[in-house]
Amino acid sequence: MQQKSTKQLLLPYTLIALVLVAWFGNFLYALGSPLGGLKQYSPALVAGAMIAYVLIHGAARYGPALIQEFILVVFAISWTFETVSIVTGIPFGNYHYTDQMAPFLGHVPVFVLPAYGIMGYASWSLATLILGQGEVRLDAVGLRWVPVLAACLMVIWDLSMDPLRATVEGRWIWTDGGVHFGVPKLNYLGWFVVTWLMFRVFALRLQTARLPASLSAPFSVRTSVQSALIWWTVPTLYLAFAVEYLVNPLVGHGVLATLVLDGAVVSVQDVYVGVAWLCALTMVPLALLGMLCIWWPSLIRSRLGKGYLVAAISGRMKRSSRQNSLT
């Protein structure tokens, strides 16, 4: 019993340490020159910390079996649709990966799958936080809207990530180019559909899963310091991806480099600045919204993890019902 409570006590600090490592690794990646060692080795630091976070946080919240199912669902769906799109151009558009992304599993780089899993879990967790879905099983509102919001969070991340990895670094090539820094609009529509499918499958699985009675205690109550710290790591993990995008323009490695986009010569620095502004206006506010849902006392409406947004909607519905009954 003492061993379990010690493990629970250390959980938030372990997660915070892993998030800080991820932040540091992405900061090093931004500092690194295009062909330098930091660009080559810092991704391993980031990936190691984030994979450990997903496994530890996921096991604490859902149990080892369910977090493994989440990873399998994400891997299977992402690999299938990546393969189909590379061959047919649907649903993401016409593209192919370069040798920078080796090794491959069929047409798909092996390292793409953990990226889906890590950001998928970060987006899912942030969506459950914002919508007040602290319990393992989602309520009717969560079952419908958590997959939608989580998919939107994935697309918002890809709006900043894809131009850097594809257009600037050449890790994959968009055959026909595109209006968003060389990336086609179809890619983002495909991302939404595919990631929504991942999250929807997992959401439905949660409704039928057999769960231990004691599972998820630190997550269902957000009034203690310990549970607040655990939840705090969710938006900060999502924000860890933004560190590189925000730092890139300040470092200036792309100042003298140029790209040809839609027949026009564009500075890499202009791409860095555009992506940084986009990230600052999308990913950052959403992460801050997640933090507000934890720390602002008026946003924590009950000891059962019902979030402010859901409680506010419910309150308006009740007030409207009372007014109708009086009239």
Alpha-carbon distance of 9 to 276, in angstroms, equals 37
Residues in the chain predicted with pLDDT less than 50, given as ranges, are 1-3, 221, 297-327
Q: What is the pLDDT of residue 264?
A: 83
- pLDDT, tens digit, for every residue of 203-248? 999 998 887 665 655 565 455 777 888 999 999 999 999 999 999 9
Q: What is the pLDDT of residue 183?
A: 96
Alpha-carbon distance of 103 to 61, in angstroms, equals 32
- pLDDT, tens digit, for every residue of 259-301? 888 778 889 999 999 999 999 999 999 999 999 888 764 444 4
Q: What is the pLDDT of residue 299?
A: 46
Q: Please, are residues 92 and 187 in contact by the beta-carbon 8 Å criterion?
A: yes
Q: What is the pLDDT of residue 317?
A: 40
Contacts of 232 (CB under 8 A, 6+ apart): 12, 16, 291, 294, 295
Write out the two tokens for 261. Answer: 């986009």
Q: What is the pLDDT of residue 10?
A: 87
Model pTM score? 0.87
Q: What is the pLDDT of residue 257?
A: 87
User: With DSSP H G I counted as helix, E B as strand and the rest as coil, what are the percentages for the chain, rounded to 5?
Assistant: 70, 5, 20
